[in-house]
Amino acid sequence: MAEVKVGIIMGSQSDWPTMKQAADILDELGVAYEARIVSAHRTPDRLWDYGRAAVGRGLQVIIAGAGGAAHLPGMMASKTRVPVIGVPVQTRALSGVDSLYSIVQMPKGYPVATMAIGAAGAANAGLMAAGILALQDADLAERLDAWRAALSASIPEEPVDE
């Protein structure tokens, strides 16, 4: 089995429909990943253990999604030097702006690469993770180039009446 280099973590089971977009992209590109529920609020010991072990386990990118008071991505970034890509999950009360602001405004020294709110942001997190790994993996780079070319080719030149 391929070595897992990407960890997808999320604050709650309820984030999975969003975070699955990242997983689906990684599946399409043949990138091995693991998906775990880890919460800074509800399972702080699990967060600590995951962050402490990340480098030793060979993780190269962590995609962290959370909604509302979304402290998970930033706390994970504080615990490991493995790059963290943050996904603001859309919320009902504040449309995900709360999640975005919670993730994006990190203090100097502990960055989180923050994506857009919601499903598109999660998919882009998968693509960003693949792009990082592709720097050291020529086969993956080829698959990513093909994926991008296929998307580009699927865009019509002219609009049609629906």
Ligand X SMILES: Nc1c(C(=O)O)ncn1[C@@H]1O[C@H](COP(=O)(O)O)[C@@H](O)[C@H]1O
Residue 123's SS3 state is: helix
Considering the rule CB under 6 A, would residue 9 count as an interface residue with ligand X? Answer: no
Considering the rule CB under 6 A, would residue 67 count as an interface residue with ligand X? Answer: yes
Tokens at 38, concatenated:
């880890």
Q: Which residues face 35 on adjacent strands?
A: 8
Sites for ligand X among residues 35-54 (CB under 6 A): 39-42
Sites for ligand X among residues 99-158 (CB under 6 A): none
Cβ 124 to ligand X shortest distance, Å:
18
Rounding to the nearest 10 degrees, give the CA dihedral for residues 89, 43, 25, 91: -10
Considering the rule CB under 6 A, would residue 68 count as an interface residue with ligand X? Answer: yes
In terms of Cα–Cα distance, which of 42, 56, 33 is closest to 14? 42
Considering the rule CB under 6 A, would residue 20 count as an interface residue with ligand X? Answer: no
Considering the rule CB under 6 A, would residue 19 count as an interface residue with ligand X? Answer: no
Which residues belong to the annotated binding site for substrate? 12, 15, 42
